[in-house]
């Protein structure tokens, strides 16, 4: 039908497909006030699409528990964006403090942008009170982190293995609850690693160990574990490549550091294949490189989580969806909600697919999303439980990892 130039034409465009700034008329309409048009022309009105977007959570935040010095308050979580706010390490500082501060510096030097520290006092035997520090962390529901590390533990492994066993297992269990990863410093020789893996290490897919010793050119006498630098590499990899990229390989080089010793190829192979302990190698330019990204629980029974990148991708998806779907708690558990959730989660997973997070060549090969009558029983609906199932292929299209999530919502 022909129209004159004086016609007022309104083009309704979905917000998700074409986000536009609201015009004065649209701004008024968003407040429930009918728009007024004072001149002929073309008017564009933004119409809500009904799609609720899900934003990925922050990753690469390391929680470090250790003795960082008497000047730091005890048992108080402190968020840091660098080490400038901390007082310099005194010349007569104990070794635990020097190791803790060195590893904290490595978190930032190797690519970390933020960290949280909990300072603990030294016990009468001169060791950091790790148990009390872990208890402090576990009691704080407001802590936001996805990596946990005890910086100076490695120096006492040979003399206090049994003491570390309970701490490590409690920390690994807590990390599972928090959807975080525990980084451990492991022995770098075959005999010591065999004993450590059998009696000390937690057999957890939420724990990762590095059997390597590093030194800084600035203080060659200080030999440290590689955990702090590894935490920084993980954060750097998250930022540059994504949480789904394994934090290992030639791109995972430790800037400004050197290896205290370089294990042979045979030793590295045994540590990795037999004990799931990751090692470091020396690159052609001499810089240490993380060479391995296996979890300590990567056995045949949990082969889908053999690699830390797969486990952390699982955590990332789960945490993002838990946060992004919190609004469902106040919605009726019926078809309209199921469709909205399916659409929102599918958009989130599609975005990850486009970025290369999955192995499939197509979206169908890479992930599945289901929410509806086939994912929940009548009892679930009456109890107000929204059941969501997501599958994704982290390694190859035929291998899916299944997440089954429940949300408390209103009963239908």
Are 329 and 304 part of one and the same domain? no
Give a yes or no: residue 43 inside a domain.
yes
Give a yes or no: residue 202 inside a domain.
yes
pLDDT at 54 over 90: yes
Host domain of residue 289: 62-311
Q: CB-based contacts of 372: which residues, under 8 Å, 6+ apart?
A: 335, 338, 339, 342
pLDDT at 1 over 60: no
> Strands 277-282 and 288-291: what pairing?
antiparallel
Are 296 and 375 part of one and the same domain? no
Last residue in a domain, options 311, 336, 369: 311
- The mean per-residue pLDDT over the stretch 271-279 comes to 92
Answer for the pair 202, 172: CB distance below 8 angstroms, yes or no.
Answer: yes
Are 13 and 122 part of one and the same domain? no
Q: pLDDT for 90-149, tens place per residue?
A: 888 998 999 999 999 999 999 999 999 999 999 988 889 999 999 999 999 999 999 999
Q: What percent of the chain has pLDDT over 70?
A: 83
Are 108 and 181 part of one and the same domain? yes
What CA dihedral angle connects 382, 386, 371 and 180, to 10 degrees? -160
Last residue in a domain, options 281, 311, 341: 311
Smallest Cα–Cα separation from 207: which of 275, 280, 138, 117? 275
Q: In CATH, what number is assigned to the domain containing residue 401?
A: 3.30.360
Give a yes or no: residue 352 inside a domain.
yes
Are 40 and 133 part of one and the same domain? no
Q: CB-based contacts of 158: which residues, under 8 Å, 6+ apart?
A: 192
Confidence bin at 11 (pLDDT 50/70/90): very low
Are 149 and 247 part of one and the same domain? yes
Q: CB-based contacts of 309: which residues, under 8 Å, 6+ apart?
A: 243, 244, 245, 246, 247, 293, 394
Buried b (16+ CB within 10 A) or exposed e, 213-248: bbbbeeeeeebbbbbbbbbbbbbbbbeeebbbbbbb
Are 74 and 38 part of one and the same domain? no
pLDDT at 355 over 90: yes
Q: Domain count of the chain?
A: 3
pLDDT value of position 404: 77
Give a yes or no: residue 318 inside a domain.
no
Are 248 and 342 part of one and the same domain? no
pTM, two decimals, is: 0.84
Q: In CATH, what number is assigned to the domain containing residue 282?
A: 3.40.50.11780
Are 78 and 185 part of one and the same domain? yes
Are 249 and 329 part of one and the same domain? no
Give a yes or no: residue 292 inside a domain.
yes
Q: pLDDT for 298-347, tens place per residue?
A: 765 567 788 999 999 999 999 999 999 999 988 999 999 999 999 999 99
Are 179 and 254 part of one and the same domain? yes
Q: pLDDT for 221-269, tens place per residue?
A: 899 999 999 999 999 999 999 999 999 999 999 999 999 987 888 999 9
Give a yes or no: residue 302 inside a domain.
yes
């Amino acid at each position: 039908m022909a129209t004159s130039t004086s016609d007022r034409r309104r083009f309704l465009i979905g917000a998700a497909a074409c986000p536009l700034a609201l015009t004065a008329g649209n701004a008024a309409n968003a407040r429930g006030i009918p728009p007024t048009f004072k001149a002929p022309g073309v008017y564009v009105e933004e119409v809500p699409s009904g799609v609720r977007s899900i934003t990925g959570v922050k990753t690469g935040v390391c929680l470090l528990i250790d003795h960082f010095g008497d000047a730091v308050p005890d048992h108080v979580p402190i968020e840091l964006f660098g080490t400038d706010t901390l007082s310099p390490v005194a010349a007569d500082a104990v070794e635990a403090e020097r190791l803790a501060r060195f590893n904290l510096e490595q978190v930032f030097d190797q690519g970390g942008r933020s960290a949280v520290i909990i300072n603990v006092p030294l016990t009468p035997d001169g060791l950091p009170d790790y148990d009390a520090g872990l208890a402090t962390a576990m009691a704080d529901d407001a802590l936001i982190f996805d990596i946990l590390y005890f910086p100076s533990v490695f120096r006492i492994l040979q003399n206090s293995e049994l003491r570390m066993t309970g701490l490590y297992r409690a920390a690994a269990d807590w990390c599972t609850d928090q959807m975080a990863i525990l980084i451990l410093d492991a022995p770098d020789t075959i005999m010591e690693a065999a004993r450590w893996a059998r009696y000390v290490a937690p057999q957890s897919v939420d724990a990762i160990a590095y059997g390597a010793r590093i030194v800084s050119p600035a203080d060659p006498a200080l030999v440290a574990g590689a955990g702090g630098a590894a935490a920084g590499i993980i954060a750097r990899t998250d930022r540059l490549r994504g949480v789904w990229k394994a934090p290992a390989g030639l791109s995972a080089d430790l800037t400004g550091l050197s290896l205290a010793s370089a294990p042979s190829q045979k030793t590295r192979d045994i540590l990795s294949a037999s004990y799931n302990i990751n090692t470091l190698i020396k690159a052609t330019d001499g810089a240490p490189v993380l060479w391995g990204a296996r979890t300590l629980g990567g056995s045949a029974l949990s082969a889908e989580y053999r690699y830390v990148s797969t486990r952390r991708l699982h955590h990332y998806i789960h945490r993002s969806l838990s946060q992004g779907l919190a609004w469902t708690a106040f919605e009726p558990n019926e078809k309209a909600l199921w469709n909205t959730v399916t659409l929102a989660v599918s958009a989130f997973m599609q975005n990850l697919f486009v970025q290369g997070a999955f192995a499939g060549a197509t979206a169908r090969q890479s992930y599945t999303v289901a929410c509806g009558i086939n994912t929940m029983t009548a009892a679930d609906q009456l109890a107000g439980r929204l059941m969501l199932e997501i599958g994704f292929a982290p390694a190859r299209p035929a291998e899916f990892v299944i997440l089954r999530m429940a949300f408390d919502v209103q009963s239908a």
